[in-house]
Amino acid sequence: MTTDQLELAGRTPESRDIDGVIVYPPPHWHIEGVDFIVDAHIDGNTGASRLSTQVHDDKGALAKLDVDSPHVPYDEALRGGAELAARLRTTSFDAHLAIPERGLGSVPPILKQSYLTGRLQADVKASGTMLAPKVDLTAALRRAAYTGDGARAKPLDLDVIAHYDGLRGRPP
């Protein structure tokens, strides 16, 4: 699946003004200027599943997510088995989220904020099961500065590297 100039908005309840004219207030949320590429494969015999997604705007890539699992319990999900929640928690997976370096001021409106400037980049890899995931995180924020309340802070660089082994987090 690929989108081109996708626009999504939350449902808004219609009302009538004092003259009886139907009025739609602005939606609570609105996404525009962000498109997706989604590629998925499910093996009907084994339950092996692969999902690859990319999110981009007119300036380039925003994020890429790849998720693989050798066996997802689709039979139980479709039949409504009582053990589905337990099986999902013990289903193994591999996931990789990559966020390429991007200036915070150049992100689409739904991702913009007015408190921090700089360039963000991140990479997260997770594997195992939901009960015992292993997670590795590498993130960097370059030339970051807090701009809230009219503050003018000196830019700084921030690097975060972390590892979670399924029981506790620690530096690598």
Judge whether 139 lies within some domain. yes
Judge whether 2 lies within some domain. no
Question: What's the chain's length in residues?
Answer: 172
Judge whether 1 lies within some domain. no
- Which is higher by pLDDT, 113 or 170? 113
How many other CB atoms sit within 10 Å of the CB of residue 109?
Answer: 11
Residue 14, pLDDT score: 81
> What are the distances in angstroms from CA 50 to CA 54, 55, 158?
14, 17, 33
**Counted domains in the chain:** 1
Judge whether 138 lies within some domain. yes
Residue 83, pLDDT score: 85
Q: Residue 98 belongs to what domain range?
A: 7-170
Judge whether 93 lies within some domain. yes
In this prediction, residues 36-63 reach a mean pLDDT of: 95
pLDDT in tens, 85-138: 888 999 999 999 999 999 998 998 888 888 888 999 999 999 999 999 999 999
Residue 151, pLDDT score: 63
Judge whether 57 lies within some domain. yes
Give the residue ranges of DSSP H helices in 3-109. 74-79, 84-89
Residue 172, pLDDT score: 66
Q: Which of 117, 116, 123, 113 lies closest to 61, judged by CA?
A: 123
| pTM to 2 decimal places | 0.82
pLDDT in tens, 31-48: 888 999 999 999 988 999
Strands 116-128 and 133-146: antiparallel
Judge whether 111 lies within some domain. yes
Judge whether 136 lies within some domain. yes
